[in-house]
Amino acid sequence: MVHPRFGTDGVRGEANRELTPEVALALGRAAAEILVDGGSRVLIGRDTRRSGPMLEAALAAGYTAAGVDVELLGEVPTPAVAWVAARDGLAAAMISASHNPFADNGIKLFAPGGLKLSDALEAQIERRFHELLEGGPTGGVTGAAIGQIRLSNHATEWADAVVGSLDGRDLRDTSIVIDCAHGAASALAPGIFARLGAGVTVIGAEPDGININEGFGSTHPDRLCSAVVERRAELGLAFDGDADRLIAVDHRGRIIDGDHILAILATDWKQAGRLANDTVVVTVMSNLGFRLAMADQGIAVVETGVGDRYVLEALNRGGYSLGGEQSGHVICRDLATTGDGVLAAVQLVDTVRRSAQTLAELSDSAMTTLPQVLKNVRLAQRDPLAVERLAVAVAEAEAEMGGEGRVLVRSSGTEPLIRIMVEHPIAATAEAVCDALVSRAERLLGT
């Protein structure tokens, strides 16, 4: 049997081939045993994929078979699940493959309080998960100890909290186009902006089970760019399938990525005294232009590995309030325990409105994106020392750029290849340095 990949939050794979009901059942039992005290309850949400109800039923069966009550939130954004879990001190699960095609699905697990799993918890759950899949002892409960399943409408309370995050301010007289990716934001996000007084045009909000992320959403923003220009809207907002990611579009139809959104918010929050320790947390993939802009504003930058999990860990460890990724995960840690695309969008539009500038003007003043060249070098086989073996070449390349550029070399976590990224104010220089490093890598690593 082909099992799905077990990652930092749970499992993901093709629904009913890798991610089967049997897998969901085993994961539910394992998560119940490790994360949930007997007699407690757990939350389950899902996005709009056709396979969601199938996996929801199996996952809920796994929890209840272990004596845990289940509250089904239905089709809701991932951040809504995390918010309710944080408020009520519960463990939770979200059935979604985020921005992946509809045939894929995943089960993301949250520890009690809506928190990401620690390495120790993840390892415990994975061990028990595989044991159950291989026919190990189940230890199920019987009689009145079996858990119950109930429907819940708590997600509307998350929507209330997002509206309330503006402390009474509104978005009146702001024209917005919203792209919901035919995903989990479809039912709730348009209403949130309408309640705040914005003039809202909605696209990508007609989910049919198989059209999630198809030509819409944060990974396919072309339709949003066109819609903003055609409707002469002030800006556009695109979410991914589970609405934990945000990409914006200015009135000219230009994409505003996660780096620019973070730069805008960080600058505004620092001026308002809201940016904890005058620090923002980003990953190694954030553009060099972001770092330079933050230095100009007197804002410290904490850097992590790629993945919102690592951003969250750094936020929690340092007591910081803002972090995220270039891809659009924006974490307002003073308001949420995870990335929340809708909340970040509300905060962004509020910042634009208060500034009396356009999103384009704010974005241009917040930072300048430097040319970034990314190329892959495929290896004959995986080499755990590949990055270390290129260290001298990387140091020489950075010295050649005279301190004006940056080089990042990473090994793929799933394939035998390394990724080489070079940034420099001059695009031709970034391209040339990257090409030279690729050639060095091919000679040194025997591709």
Alpha-carbon span 13 to 104, nearest angstrom: 5
Q: Measure CA 353 to chain center.
A: 25
Burial class (CB in 10 A: 0-12, 13-18, 19+), 168: exposed
Give me the amino acid identity at 48. Answer: T
Q: Tell me if 308 sits within 8 A of 82, measured CB to CB.
A: no
175-179 vs 235-239, strand pairing mode? parallel
Q: Tell me if 360 sits within 8 A of 317, measured CB to CB.
A: no
φ and ψ of 432, to 5 deg: -65, -45
Alpha-carbon span 227 to 215, nearest angstrom: 13
Task: Convert 210-238 to b/e letters by CB count within 10 Å (16 or more is b).
Answer: ebbbeebbbbbbebbbebbbeeebbbbbb
Alpha-carbon span 63 to 43, nearest angstrom: 10
Tell me how many degrees the CA angle 9-20-65 measures, rounded to the nearest 5: 80
φ and ψ of 46, to 5 deg: -150, 160
> Hey, how many other C-beta atoms are within 10 angstroms of the C-beta on 141?
16
- Most distant pair of Cα atoms in the chain: their distance: 72
φ and ψ of 266, to 5 deg: -60, -45
Q: Which residues pair with 177 in a beta bridge?
A: 201, 236
Contacts of residue 103, Cβ cutoff 8 Å, sequence gap at least 6: 14, 15, 51
Residues noted as catalytic? 98
Treating both helix axes as pointing N-terminal to C-terminal, what angle do 78-88 and 341-355 enclose, rounded to 10 degrees?
100
Tell me how many degrees the CA angle 244-250-256 measures, rounded to the nearest 5: 45
- Give me the sheet containing 417-423, strands edge to edge: 372-378, 417-423, 406-411
Which candidate, 111, 42, 45, 116, places its Cα nearest to that of 77?
45
Burial class (CB in 10 A: 0-12, 13-18, 19+), 272: exposed
Alpha-carbon span 357 to 348, nearest angstrom: 12
